[in-house]
Structure formats: structure tokens, C-alpha cells
């Protein structure tokens, strides 16, 4: 049985993200390993600092993982650190950079193994986007290859800022049967270890299939 999974639409580590308290409790510890890979070109240290201040309000402590390049992802010591973690948080930023760094690497294998062994995994914004396969391409709204922690599910972060033009193009291009999930800022789509889904945070989540709204019940439980 896998651990809890949180797909966060954006504005991570802000006051509305009270669901992080539940994630910390679900991890069974007080440490959050923050992975700032997606923010490698956008002051990743600031993401770690923001996470530290945020989780401190819940009694948590943050450790930043220096994982910014492909060489880092191939390092066995970093992979061992990821495998041992009970709560991994992937910050937002560039999904394309995150994919290029970790895809088919020891670190990615360690993350998948940790999650399958019960660790909590959270991913915000661009990181939530690339965690799934296929991925909504941020360059135009079509679809490309993601990391595949979840299959046949595509995430649109910052859904409350999704324009009608982008929505029409993305849903029109979605492969038959694909679930497209729009997640608002400061909002999380949470998957429990038993496979059930719920929404928490200040906004909402919209689920589409074949360009039609469907409910959370359409999301896979396996």
C-alpha cells in the first residue's frame, strides 16, 4: 500500500495550505525533505526557507535536498536519503527541468520505492504536473511525457487562472479516456493510502474526461 499523495495546485507553503499539517501527521515523523529541483533556476534556497517557516507552525522541521542537476540525481547517497525519507515535498517550478533531472535515475527510483513503502509524497504546481503521465506541456497546453507516478491522469495547476482558450485547447487535445484534473492555488488533491481521493485547501478541484466534468469518483483507486 502506497503512502499519502498530495497534488498541490500552487502557492505552496502559504497560510491556506493547512492540509500540510495532515500530511506531516500521516508521515509519522516531524521531518520534511524538500526537493527544490523544479526551482533550480529560481532561487531554490528560497523555497526551502519558505517551507521551513511554514512547517514550523505545525511542529515540523525541513531538510533541503541538494538535487538540482542530473549528476545529483545519479548520486547513490542522495538516492539513499530519498529512500529513507518519510515525507518528500517536491516544490514547484519547471516541470521540464525536473523531468530531465530525475527521469530514470536512482533518485527517482528511490522516491517511487519510498512512496510505495508508505512515505508521504507532495508535489506543487509544476512538480505536480510532471508527476503524472501524460503531462500537460507548459509550453502550449498539449501533452507530453511525464514521470508516471500516476498513469492516465494529467494535472493542470493554478486552475483558477486557467484561461478559456487554454482550457479548450488542452481538453480538445486530451487522449480518449484521459482524466484531466484542474487544481486551484493553495488547494490539494489528496490520495489516501487506500486509494480514495479528497480535496482540501482554499479552492476547488475540477475533473474532466472527454471534455466533460466528472466527479472525484472517476479517479483511479489502484
Query: What DSSP element (H or E) covers 33?
Result: strand 31-35
Taking the C-alpha atoms of residue 185 and residue 177, their distance in angstroms, rounded to an integer, is 26
Query: Which residues fall within 8 angstroms of residue 68, CB to CB, at 6 or more apart?
Result: 36, 37, 40, 44, 101
Overall average pLDDT of the 187-216 stretch = 95
User: Which of 26-35, 66-75, 169-178 has the weakest average pLDDT?
Assistant: 169-178
pLDDT of residue 62: 98
- For 5-214, CATH number out of 3.40.50.720, 2.30.30.40, 3.40.50.880, 2.60.40.10 equals 3.40.50.880
Q: Is 90 exceeded by the pLDDT of residue 167?
A: no
Domains of the chain, residue spans:
5-214
User: Which of 79-93, 144-158, 162-176, 198-212 has the weakest average pLDDT?
Assistant: 162-176
Using DSSP bridges, classify how beta strands 120-124 and 5-8 pair: parallel, antiparallel or unpaired: parallel
- 73: which 3 cell numbers? 540525481
Overall average pLDDT of the 125-146 stretch = 93
User: Which of 5-14, 61-70, 100-109, 155-164 has the weakest average pLDDT?
Assistant: 155-164
- 102: which 3 cell numbers? 530525475
Q: Is 80 exceeded by the pLDDT of residue 222?
A: no
Q: With 0.85 as the threshold, say if the pTM is over it.
A: yes
Per this entry, what is the length of the chain? 222
First to last CA, the chain: 9
pLDDT band for 98, please (50, 70, 90 cuts).
very high
Q: How many percent of the chain have pLDDT more than 90?
A: 89
Cell 484561461 locates to 163
Taking the C-alpha atoms of residue 6 and residue 112, their distance in angstroms, rounded to an integer, is 14
pLDDT of residue 211: 87
pLDDT band for 168, please (50, 70, 90 cuts).
confident
Using DSSP bridges, classify how beta strands 87-90 and 120-124 pair: parallel, antiparallel or unpaired: parallel
Q: Is 80 exceeded by the pLDDT of residue 81?
A: yes
Overall average pLDDT of the 146-164 stretch = 94
The distance of Cα 18 from the centroid of its chain, to the nearest Å, equals 16
The conformation of residue 12, written as its DSSP 8-state character, comes to T
pLDDT of residue 135: 95
pLDDT band for 95, please (50, 70, 90 cuts).
very high
Q: Is 90 exceeded by the pLDDT of residue 164?
A: no
Sign of the CA dihedral with 43 first, then 48, 52, and 55 last? positive
pLDDT band for 163, please (50, 70, 90 cuts).
confident
Amino acid at each position: 500500500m502506497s503512502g499519502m499523495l498530495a497534488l498541490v495546485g500552487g502557492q505552496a507553503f502559504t497560510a491556506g495550505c493547512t492540509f500540510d499539517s495532515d500530511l506531516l501527521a500521516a508521515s509519522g515523523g516531524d521531518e520534511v525533505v524538500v526537493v527544490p529541483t523544479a526551482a533550480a533556476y529560481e532561487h531554490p534556497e528560497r523555497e526551502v526557507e519558505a517551507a521551513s517557516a511554514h512547517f514550523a507552525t505545525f511542529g515540523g522541521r525541513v531538510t533541503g535536498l541538494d538535487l538540482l542537476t542530473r549528476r545529483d540525481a545519479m548520486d547513490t547517497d542522495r538516492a539513499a536519503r530519498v529512500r529513507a525519507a518519510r515525507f518528500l515535498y517536491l516544490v514547484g517550478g519547471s516541470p521540464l527541468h525536473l523531468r530531465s533531472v530525475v527521469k530514470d535515475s536512482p533518485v527517482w527510483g528511490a522516491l517511487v520505492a519510498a512512496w510505495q513503502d508508505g512515505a508521504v509524497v507532495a508535489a506543487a504546481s509544476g512538480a505536480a504536473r510532471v508527476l503524472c503521465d501524460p503531462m500537460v506541456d507548459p509550453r502550449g497546453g498539449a501533452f507530453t511525457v511525464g514521470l508516471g507516478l500516476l498513469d492516465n491522469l494529467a494535472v493542470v495547476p493554478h486552475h483558477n487562472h486557467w484561461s478559456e482558450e487554454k482550457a479548450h485547447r488542452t481538453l480538445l487535445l486530451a487522449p480518449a479516456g484521459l482524466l484531466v484534473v484542474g487544481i486551484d492555488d493553495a488547494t490539494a488533491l489528496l490520495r489516501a493510502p487506500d486509494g480514495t481521493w479528497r480535496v482540501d485547501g482554499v479552492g476547488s478541484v475540477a475533473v474532466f474526461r472527454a471534455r466533460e466534468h466528472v466527479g472525484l469518483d472517476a479517479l483511479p483507486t489502484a
